[in-house]
Structure 1
Amino acid sequence: MKGEKKNKTRILILAIFLAIIFILPFYIVLTNSFKTQKGIFLNVTDLPFGQFFTLDNYIEAFKELDFVHSFLNSLLITVFSTVLIVIFSSMAAWMLVRTKSKLSSFLYFLFAAAILIPFQSVMLPLINLMGKIGFLNRSGLIFMYVGFGASLSIMLYHGFIKSIPVELEEAATIDGCNKFQVFWYIIFPMLKPITVTVSILNAMWIWNDFLLPQLVINRPESHTIPLKMFYFFGQHSKQWHLALAGLVIGMIPIIIFYILAQKHIIKGVTKGSIK
Structure 2
Amino acid sequence: MRKKKNWKLEILGILLGILWLLPFYLMFVNSFKTKKEIFTDVTSPPEQWSFDNYITAFHELDFLQTLFNSLLITVSSVLLIIISSAMAAYALSRAKSRISTILFFVFVAAMLIPFQSVMIPLVTVFGQFEMLNRGGLIFMYIGFGASLSIFLYHGALNNIPKSLDEAARIDGANRWQVFWHIIFPMLKPITVTVAILNIIWIWNDYLLPSLVINKTGSETIPLKMFFFFGEYTKQWHLALAGLTLAILPVIIFYFFAQRSIIKGVSDGAIK
| TM-score, with length taken from structure 2 | 0.88
SS in 2 for 1:233: helix
- Quick one: structure 1 residues 235 and 62, their matched pair in 2 at CA, closer, same or farther if it must change by over 3 Å? closer
Mean CA deviation greater in 108-117 or 86-95: 108-117
Identify the residue that residue 81 of structure 2 maps to in structure 1. Answer: 85
Identify the residue that residue 21 of structure 2 maps to in structure 1. Answer: 23
Matched, 1:222 2:218: yes
Q: Which runs of at least 4 in structure 1 moved beyond 6 Å after TM superposition?
A: none
**Which of 45, 52, 55 is residue 48 of structure 1 equivalent to?**
45
- Quick one: structure 1 residues 233 and 248, their matched pair in 2 at CA, closer, same or farther if it must change by over 3 Å? closer
Q: Return the letter of the residue paired with 1:56.
A: D
Mean CA deviation greater in 177-186 or 28-37: 28-37
Task: Report if the CA contact (8 A) 1:204-1:254 is conserved.
Answer: no
Matched, 1:187 2:174: no
- Quick one: structure 1 residues 259 and 92, their matched pair in 2 at CA, closer, same or farther if it must change by over 3 Å? farther
Deviation at 1:139, TM superposition (A): 0.9
Task: Report if the CA contact (8 A) 1:36-1:54 is conserved.
Answer: no
**Which of 233, 240, 250 is residue 236 of structure 2 equivalent to?**
240
Count of residue pairs the alignment pairs up:
271
Task: Report if the CA contact (8 A) 1:93-1:158 is conserved.
Answer: yes
Matched, 1:98 2:86: no
Cα distance in 1 for residues equivalent to 2:200 and 2:26: 21
- Quick one: structure 1 residues 245 and 274, their matched pair in 2 at CA, closer, same or farther if it must change by over 3 Å? same
Task: Report if the CA contact (8 A) 1:159-1:274 is conserved.
Answer: no
- Quick one: structure 1 residues 86 and 234, their matched pair in 2 at CA, closer, same or farther if it must change by over 3 Å? same
Deviation at 1:13, TM superposition (A): 4.9
Identify the residue that residue 30 of structure 2 maps to in structure 1. Answer: 32
Task: Report if the CA contact (8 A) 1:173-1:182 is conserved.
Answer: yes
Unaligned 5+ residue runs, structure 1?
none
- Quick one: structure 1 residues 41 and 257, their matched pair in 2 at CA, closer, same or farther if it must change by over 3 Å? same
Cα distance in 2 for residues equivalent to 1:263 and 1:172: 32
Identify the residue that residue 68 of structure 2 maps to in structure 1. Answer: 72
Mean CA deviation greater in 72-81 or 249-258: 249-258
SS in 1 for 2:197: helix
Give the root-mean-square deviation of aligned CA atoms.
Answer: 2.4
Deviation at 1:274, TM superposition (A): 4.4
- Quick one: structure 1 residues 247 and 235, their matched pair in 2 at CA, closer, same or farther if it must change by over 3 Å? closer
- Quick one: structure 1 residues 104 and 179, their matched pair in 2 at CA, closer, same or farther if it must change by over 3 Å? same
Q: Return the letter of the residue paired with 1:121.
A: S
Q: Return the letter of the residue paired with 2:35.
A: Q
Deviation at 1:228, TM superposition (A): 2.0
Task: Report if the CA contact (8 A) 2:31-2:237 is conserved.
Answer: yes
- Quick one: structure 1 residues 14 and 124, their matched pair in 2 at CA, closer, same or farther if it must change by over 3 Å? farther
Matched, 1:171 2:167: yes
**Which of 140, 146, 152 is residue 144 of structure 1 equivalent to?**
140
**Which of 153, 158, 169 is residue 154 of structure 2 equivalent to?**
158
Cα distance in 2 for residues equivalent to 1:228 and 1:54: 24
Cα distance in 1 for residues equivalent to 2:129 and 2:168: 43
Q: Return the letter of the residue paired with 1:220.
A: T
Cα distance in 1 for residues equivalent to 2:118 and 2:16: 35
- What CA deviation, in whole Å up to 9, does each residue of 1:115-171 have, x standing for no partner? 333322322222122112221111110011111111222222223333333322211
Cα distance in 2 for residues equivalent to 1:19 and 1:121: 39
SS in 2 for 1:222: coil
- Quick one: structure 1 residues 48 and 213, their matched pair in 2 at CA, closer, same or farther if it must change by over 3 Å? same
Q: Return the letter of the residue paired with 1:73.
A: N
Task: Report if the CA contact (8 A) 1:194-1:265 is conserved.
Answer: no
Q: Return the letter of the residue paired with 2:45.
A: P
- Quick one: structure 1 residues 81 and 216, their matched pair in 2 at CA, closer, same or farther if it must change by over 3 Å? same
Q: Return the letter of the residue paired with 2:25.
A: Y
